[in-house]
Amino acid sequence: MTLGVIGCGNMGRALIQGVVKSRRMSPRRLIGWDPDQARLRAIVRSNGIVRASSNLDLTRRAKAVLLAVKPQQMDQVLREIRPGAKRGKLVISIAAGVPIRRIQRALGPGARVIRVMPNTPALVGQGMAGISAGRGVTRADLRFARRIFEAAGQAIEIPEAWMDAVTALSGSGPAYFFFLMEAMIEAGVKLGLSRQAAQRLVKATAAGAAALALAGPQPPRKLRRQVTSKGGTTEAAFRVFKKRGLAAILRAGIFAACRRARQLSRGR
């Protein structure tokens, strides 16, 4: 299989690097294109992949095409690659809010489309991706898509109807954790710590908590209770979080992200 990557920005680059580093594909089987020629040159040079001369050239040369452009760039890219995507091409899109049917309509009935929602921890090989298959996609196509995204973390297969919720949860999710870290750092600074010390304490605590949550089958609630002794400091913090409705605020934010993903899917 040869894979062409259209758009070598944050996500495109992360996926190319993940696949090359994990040796899941030979770099000679990866083809890249991006309108930013300096960016493209750097990625081609550092990963040893092949450079295309346009989106259409890439599509003609690759068996599978990964669309890693912004949703608003998608219509133009689909128009450009259509002549090369007619004969049963596998097209994998990571664009938020672009449904499979829209890509299939733009490329014609021959294209087999897989839609994926990855996230930015893919940049360090710790990504989480939800994968949905469109009409005509084979088990082999899905295995191939999993191989790409598992090179940059984990992947699960989901029905497309879940995609907006997955976007709200794991697509946008890293930003929620960063926000929590920002707020904790600010609190530490207000309590008299240096910013540098607060940042180090918070980042290491976040990494440790994530590692502990991943180490076993216990739900996060149980791990939280292990930290919360009766009459202790954590309990004092949670009394305030509960009183001010922190869980309800988080839920409302995640619901808003899901609503926005739905609007984007409808082209609004």
Ligand X SMILES: NC(=O)c1ccc[n+]([C@@H]2O[C@H](COP(=O)([O-])OP(=O)(O)OC[C@H]3O[C@@H](n4cnc5c(N)ncnc54)[C@H](OP(=O)(O)O)[C@@H]3O)[C@@H](O)[C@H]2O)c1
User: 23: alpha, beta or left, given left = phi > 0 and alpha = psi -120 to 50?
Assistant: left
Q: Binders of ligand X: how many residues, by CB under 6 A?
A: 28
Count Cβ atoms below 10 Å from residue 120 Cβ, excluding itself: 16
Nearer to ligand X, 11 or 62 (CB): 11
Q: Which range binds ligand X by CB under 6 A, 23-31, 112-120, 184-192, 199-207?
A: 112-120
d(CA 168, CA 151): 23
Is 44 a residue that touches ligand X (CB under 6 A)?
no
Applying CB under 6 A, which of residues 15, 95, 165, 185 lies at the interface with ligand X?
Answer: 95
| 70 contacts ligand X (rule: CB under 6 A) | yes
* Interaction of residue 7 with ligand X, rule CB under 6 A: yes
Of 122, 92, 96, the closest CA to residue 107 belongs to 92
Q: Is 120 in the site for ligand X (CB under 6 A)?
A: yes
End-to-end CA distance of the chain: 36
Q: Which residue in 14, 94, 95, 16 sits closest to 51, CA to CA?
A: 16
Q: State the residue for tokens 């495109």.
A: 12
Question: Per CB under 6 A, does 36 bind ligand X?
Answer: yes
Stretch that binds ligand X, among 32-40, 139-147, 219-227, 243-251 (CB under 6 A): 32-40
Please give the residue ranges that form the binding site for ligand X (CB under 6 A): 6-12, 33-36, 39, 55, 68-71, 73, 76-77, 94-96, 117-120, 171
